[in-house]
Amino acid sequence: MARKRKISESSSDAFVASDSEADDAYTPKAAGSSRKASTKIAKKTRAPQKRPAQKKPRKGKDKAVDASDDDDDSREERALPHASSTHTISSTQARSIRTALLAWYDTVHEVRGMPWRKPFDHSWSAEQQAQRAYEVWISEIMLQQTQVVTVIPYYNKWMAKFPTLSELAKSDIDTVNGLWKGLGYYSRAARILQGAQKAVTELGGQLPDNAKDMEAKIPGIGRYSAGAICSIAYNQCVPVLDGNVHRLLSRFLALYTPPKAKQGLDILWEGATALIEGADRAGDTNQALIELGSTVCKVHDPLCGDCPIQPWCKAYAWRVMDEKVGDTVNPDSLVPSSEQELPDIEDLCVLCRPLPKPTLVTSYPMKVERKKAREELDVVSVIEWRPTTNANDHDRWFLLVRRPEGGLLAGLHEFPTTPNVSVSLPQNMVTFAQTALHQLIERPPAQVSQQMSPPAPSLPSPNSVQGHLSEDDLRIVKTTEAGDVLHIFSHIRKTYRVQWVLLVGGSGGGGGCGASAIDNAYSEQQHVAHGAVEQSGSGTSPPPPSLQALPPILRTTARPEQSAGSGTYKSKKPAATRTKGEWGSTTNVAEKTLDTTPLEAKWVRMNDVSKANVGTGVLKVWKQVQTLWRNIDS
């Protein structure tokens, strides 16, 4: 048994809390000193600062949770020496904790109405368990960085469209992105499709039935997701550690260390493992931990009085101890006195950092300084084509470009965009649109040099432009700034500087392209165009194919998209010629590595733009341009 050592303030030896995790975090005893010589505990504090006035406790808030600002960085710190075993859970404790946890979970598991939550049935066949694994997989990926209330309608819609893994595997990225539209983090949807197709082609049409293979073989599934899926669907005793459980166990074990440090994460995973090992209801145990962290052990204002595992919570115990000290004695009396005992020095925890004073439950987990989102400015060109300036809505087409299949907003469409440009923009922003047009259109309009025009009361008349170019020539007749749109990602603060660019003429392929090219391009899919008109709800019937005006042909071929009713006119650029930093790229302009994603663009009718597979940032840009048009009309 480890020896206990008495603590005295008279000794010159000291334990110093250190950022180092090495053994030399301790100051050794002087040579020849007695084993009974005591050790002084030094307190590591920040420079004294003025402490903020405490707020009055809010009604209904648990007494054990202090009402002061738990995000305040001006509070002093103190070291609270403790044994490493503080951060462990014994098997005996785990059984008692699990019993209390499941008793609580049985009363709340249906409260939030999650359709993917079903009790495990030991009579399920292997096929039924695999189906449950698919359902849980979809819910878990959707729930990443997304609230439950937001996910529920998306989940229901998804399962109605793709009730089984095999049905999903038959789909395509456009259909999947269409269902995912609005959830954000679109790469998740792409990985789900990839995972389903891999499971069907390589794994016998089912997800793996164990966490190890699940994590190794299915794209986008990490340790947490594999544990959640396999514990819930297969009743496998594997741990989970998402953000909610991380916070819960950091408090439960009073672990005050950088939240992403490997040694700290290892301790939390060990704690989660201890709670699940030997569980009869593995899935319910993990779901109970997640539910407890989400609804009770919240980031702010945790409901400690409602917590079923509060009797074992070490952060709560520290808080109660601090509260008992109160203002009548020195708060530093929490540091053990000469009559208190500590484990032998080899047993002391060297991971935890000094805690802020007063010690709150919300002090855990340790706060880290968030990286400031980088600022980026993109120029977005909303490029519109009309056969004539006075065309109706049915004949107004807009150019969309598909983003690469990897990275930010993977596989979604956007207006031609020049990313991460200098804040000191040239006054003539039309050059950005011209660059895009030359990359995408088979016969782009001639270069123009006129300056960006402010919003004008009306469009130029057809006669005013025909004096310079013939009606068969594609030309830019108007460029107007539409203003800035702010869109915030998790790591980027993006400003879209929007301009509206109006093209006229060049029907069916740009200057000089004969009518036969128009007819040939359109004859393959006459029913598609007709369906698009009906879908857009314009209320007008399209003219016969020979009389329909088509947008300019895109590189390298031009034909309507193959899906019925899409209202799109699509082309692919097969050669991979873009470098990262050119418009349509997904990365910083400073990175000049080759992007091998084929450049793909399409024309979309006005009434179908908002129905396309676009992100919320593009919808913001679209609304901004529509506001510009209303201002012009008024």
The tens digit of pLDDT for each residue in 137-159 reads: 999 999 998 999 999 999 999 99
The tens digit of pLDDT for each residue in 515-544 reads: 333 333 333 333 233 233 333 444 445 454
The reported pLDDT for the residue numbered 576 is 33
Residue type, 252: F
* CA pseudo-torsion sign 341, 343, 348, 349: negative
Longest dimension (CA), the chain: 105
Q: How far lies 203's CA from each of 90, 155, 199, 208, in Å?
A: 38, 24, 5, 8
The reported pLDDT for the residue numbered 409 is 83
Q: How far lies 289's CA from each of 105, 222, 241, 389, in Å?
A: 9, 18, 9, 62
How far is Cα 480 from Cα 384, in angstroms, rounded to an integer? Answer: 12
Mean pLDDT of the 238-253 span: 97
Predicted TM-score (pTM) above 0.85 = no
The reported pLDDT for the residue numbered 21 is 28
How far is Cα 616 from Cα 529, in angstroms, rounded to an integer? Answer: 26
Give the active site residues.
140
The tens digit of pLDDT for each residue in 44-89 reads: 333 333 434 444 444 334 433 333 344 444 557 778 888 899 999 9
The answer on pLDDT for 514 being more than 50 is: no
Lowest mean pLDDT among 104-108, 203-207, 417-421, 552-556: 552-556
547-549-551 Cα angle (round to 5): 160
